[in-house]
Amino acid sequence: MGDAGSGRPSTGPRLEAAGTRLRHFHVCAFFNTREEEYQVLGPFYRDALRRGGPHLHFLEPGDIASGAADEHRDLLRAIGIDGAACEHCGQLSLQAWPAPVEASAGGRRRLDVDALLQVLESATAAGVDEAVEASGDGGLRVMGRMGWAIRGDLDRLDLLEYEARANEVLDRNRQAAICVYDLASLDGATMMDLLRTHPLTLIGGVLRENPFFTPPAEMLRELSARRVSGRRRGPPALAMLSRAGS
């Protein structure tokens, strides 16, 4: 059955919370340890493999060239997934995110937001065609490791712009993506900003609709105003909690 008015087959993966199929595809996941990450995401990975759907895992810039991807394969093996075999048969692809762009002297390094979105668009648009051929409801599953984008001198507003704009790409192509963050590296303001750019959250192993989600157009207007004013942080967490509860 196609999506109403789209003419496109309904190939998206079945993301559910409390037995209800969710309307969005962009998930923000927070973990305390790498081991917790793999234990929680294991069912998400195995479900796609069982249904015959492809998997795409975005690792940190440089991880493929440096050999750090081997750690990812080892951790997949520890949860019962033979990553190397899945790569060999085409069910799993590992890619590294594009590296940040060096800014002019004295400036922050920047994320190339358009390049990141083009990578995501190419992957998820191709995933639509692959999912049509897959058995069952085998949509593409995307995992993106994002901790690198909040370390060092990178401009976090670039990351927030990417996360806000990624919603349109994922909703249009109806492919699920989980953005993975390390809780230990986040302060409260950054975590709240990240929550606001994702319609779904995965915290403590539970997938939920996110009450803090801010529609992308509204979020992008706010980010633009923050760039102009030089204000890097969003509204206080207490204000967002009050807004979500109203």
Do the bridges between strand 200-203 and strand 55-59 make them parallel or antiparallel, or are there none, so unpaired? Answer: unpaired
5 has a pLDDT exceeding 80: no
* pLDDT at 127 (0 to 100): 58
**pTM of the shown model:** 0.84
What token pair was written down for 187? 């302060």
What token pair was written down for 38? 């793999």
Mean pLDDT for the stretch of residues 27-54? 90
Which comes out higher in pLDDT, residue 80 or 236? 80
* pLDDT at 51 (0 to 100): 80
For 26-183, CATH gives 3.40.50.300
Query: pLDDT-based confidence at 13, cuts 50/70/90?
Result: low
The residue with tokens 């030089």 is 230
First to last CA, the chain: 37
Question: Which range (15-29, 38-52, 61-75) has the least confidence?
Answer: 15-29
47 has a pLDDT exceeding 90: no
Which comes out higher in pLDDT, residue 103 or 181? 181
* pLDDT at 134 (0 to 100): 47
CA distance 193 to 82: 35
Q: Where are the domains of the chain?
A: 26-183
Q: What is the pLDDT of residues 77-100, one digit of tens each?
A: 999 999 999 999 999 999 999 988
Which comes out higher in pLDDT, residue 103 or 170? 170
